[in-house]
Every structure is written in C-alpha cells, then in structure tokens.
Structure 1
Amino acid sequence: MINITFPVLDGKVAIITGGAMGMGLATAKLFAEAKAKVVVADLNEDKGQAAVAEIEEIGGTAFFVKTDISKSEQVKSMVAQTVEKYGQLDVAVNNAALTPDNAPAAEFDEDYWDKLISIDLTGTALCMKYELQQMIEQGQGGSIINISSVSGFRPQPNNIAYVAAKHGVVGMTKVAAMENGDKNIRVNSVAPGAIDTPMLRGSLEETGQTEEEFAPQLSLLGRFGQAKEIAEASLWLASDQSSYLTGTTIHADAGYTSR
C-alpha cells in the first residue's frame, strides 16, 4: 500500500523573505502548518508582526526579523538571529522582490533599475550566500528555494529590469546547486505565473479588464493562480519528498511558458 502524506517539515527551521504578505505570507503560513519553525523576514514591520500573529493563531511557531535584503549586514544578521533563536537553519525561501518596472528598454528608469536589481537579484544572491554558509557549517544539508518568475523564461515588454533580474535568479540557482550538491544542499526555484495578488487586481482595474477576459491570455487553465499554490510548490521543494531534485525550476504558471 502506498502511503502518501502531506509534506512535513517537523523539526525544521525555515526563513521566508518577503514573508509579510502575498506569496511570502502564504508560504510562511503553510510551512508553519507543516510544523516548521518559521522566520518571517520583511521590511514592513507592522505587516511582519501581523504575519507572525496569524501563524501563532493557527498553532504555528514564528518570529519576525526586519530585513532589507539588499544590505549584506542585514542579511547576515537575519541568518544569525535565526540560528540564535532556533539553533539551526534548514530551509530558506528567497521570495522578497520589488514589483516589475514599466517602461520600454529605450526609456527605462535608471534609478528604479538600480533599486530593483539591488533587491531582486543582488538581494537574492546575498540571501543565498549567508544561508549557504550556515548550512555548510552545520553539515546536515538543506534546501533553498528561490522565487523567480515566468519572466525569467519568457521575456515581457516594458520591464527590462525585472526580466533581467529573474533570468539572473534562475542562473544563480543553477550555480549554487552545482557547487553544493556534494554537501546535500539542494537549490531550486519556482517560477510563478499570473498569481491573484493585490498588484494583479490593481492592474486589472487600470486596464478595465475582468479576470475572465484576461486570465486566458496568461493561463491554459483560464484562471489566475492562488498564492497558496505557489507556497505548495515551495513546500514540496523544501521537504524530503523532493530529495532528488536540485538545480531546476518548477513552472507554476498554468502552462504559460509552454506556448
């Protein structure tokens, strides 16, 4: 008889960056349900503390660390505080990112380019750097999940910085996987498609479109994805049920990049 169980992270410690809202919050809550001790890392302290309260309300264990992932010392401190609080680091979901830019390549905003790259690309690299150092020091393996995007595989017009950053996240994931497989540290990514978030809803309002009109352009399933569906992909990659997977990407995009 095949025993299929919900992926569990019992006894594991997990950092979720950008964990105060959206996909990050959904991931933090789901990981807590899977019995992980969760570190919610985010710049927004009010929403971060609210996220911790939500997790505690469902019986989970969590604490908040205010972190600007574009700052090396803050990322290093995030990992150090995690280990000080829970004694180890087993899983990290590097989810924090800025929203895409909105200008053609010939006119892109150079200031926003610098800001976005410092968080979406450099920030993700810094997170991996210090997460890897801790996992290597522990000598017990680990799992790192970087959140990329369909834009890391199928470029979109008018967001050159975001497309560049998300392509970079995919490449960095592969390099880290190559370098750390012999240490039993797995590094993978998830590339979400059109996920039902306030940002997406705001875009619909601006264009005057409905989900029924717009979703089929982005999804073979004819609907937007839910934040929890991305969290579930990350949970599987974090768990032992994906123990032979590293250096790859789960395309959680309802077939958008298959066309």
Structure 2
Amino acid sequence: MKLLLHACCCPCTLEPLRLLLEEGHDIAIAYMNSNIHPAEEYEHRRAVLLDFAREQGLEVIEGVYDPQAWSRAAGVFGTDPDQRPDRCRACYRLRLEEACAYAAANGFEGVATTLTVSPYQYTETIREELERACEPHGLAAVFRDYREQYPEATRRSKAMGMYRQNYCGCVFSKIEAAEEREARKAERAAAKAAKEAAEAPARAAAEAARQKKRAEKQAYANKRAAQRAALKAYKQAHHDDAACCEKGNKAE
C-alpha cells in the first residue's frame, strides 16, 4: 500500500524501513517531531534522516516544528515519574495525529511508525495511539513491534557512522537520560568498589605471600653472598699463608 512511515530519527528508521519495503509497500517518510529539544538537535536529526533518505531515493515530508504545541499537549506532565506514561502518550498522540492528517490529505492508505524500535518506549501505548489516529481518517494502522530489531538497528547505524542521540527527544527525556546515565555510572562505581573490597583480603594475602617469597629469596641470596665472601676470604688467606711459607723457605 501507499504508506507514510512516521520516523523519530534515522537510526530507528533503518530496520522498519527495510522490513516494510520487503513487504512491498510504497513508502514516504514523515519527520514530524515537535517533541525534540533543542532546535539544534531537531535539525541535526532531520539532516541525518534527509541524507539517508536521499541516498535511498525516498521522500521525506517534514511537519511544522512547533515545540509550543508539544508543551501544551505533553509538557504539562513535567518530570514526575508517575506521569511519564501520560506524557509519552500525549507526545505519541500529537505526532501520530499530525502524520495521519497529512496521510489522509495526500492519498496515503496507511501509516506506520518507527517509535517501537526503542525498548525504552511504551510499545502498547504506541499501538493504541496509532490505531486511534488512523481510525477517523479511514487509514490502515500498520503497527509492528520492532524491538527485536533494535540490536541490528544499533549495529547498522554504528557501522554507517550515523549520528546516534542518547535521549528520546524532549527536554524531560534529556534530563532523565542524563540522570539515568549518572545513576548507572554510580552503580558501576559502587559495584567496582564492592568487588575490590571483597577481593581485598585475597589480594592482601597474595601480596604478603609475594613479599615473603621475595624476602626468602633475598635472604637466600644474602646467605649465598656471605658464603662466597667467606670462601673467597679463606682462599685468599690460604694463598697468603702459602706465599709466606715459600718466601721463608727461600730465605733459608
């Protein structure tokens, strides 16, 4: 079918696009993401997607970048973790409704989205919002759960040297992602410290054993050196006595 694929970013587009093309769909890509903050990030992701789409001979339809509309729809939920599912639902709804309105007005038969590639999204909520946005326009909701393709999308995008963002898009997700990275960093540091503390007695015992061995080797070396010195002194004394006797004999 003639299909509009809503794309959140280029790395997440790779596998859904490949699979949907293999299904035989005639695809155009919709970059409609007023959630992305700041504007420079929005433009960076768009540029990467446009470059890739141009290489593939695909059209990219860009929506109106309206962060204020996103703030009114989803930003009102703020950073409260308990309201994050509601914030994400409102975000999905705004973007998918925009994609579906464009699709209906421009002869598309169905709408799909790349949002389900990420294992950090609310996959079932995406399904609900895609179906909800398609229904009043008579569009087919081409929903696929692409989470299994996430590793391959990651591999391919890295192999292509493609820009990979480290947060979903909105200002809140940027803050949350930074906090989660710091939390993981702290957890790794704590785990490392705990491991080192647990291994400390064994390391101390091993070091003590090494020091003891070194001391024993040094003591042995000192003993051998003393023995060699004593032997050398004995030989020297014997040599001196012999020389003295020989000198006395000559004198007689």
TM-score interval (norm. to shorter): 0.3 to 0.5
Relative to its length, the structure with more helix (as a share) is 2
User: Whose Rg is larger?
Assistant: 2
- After TM superposition, the score normalised by the length of structure 1 is 0.38
Relative to its length, the structure with more strand (as a share) is 1
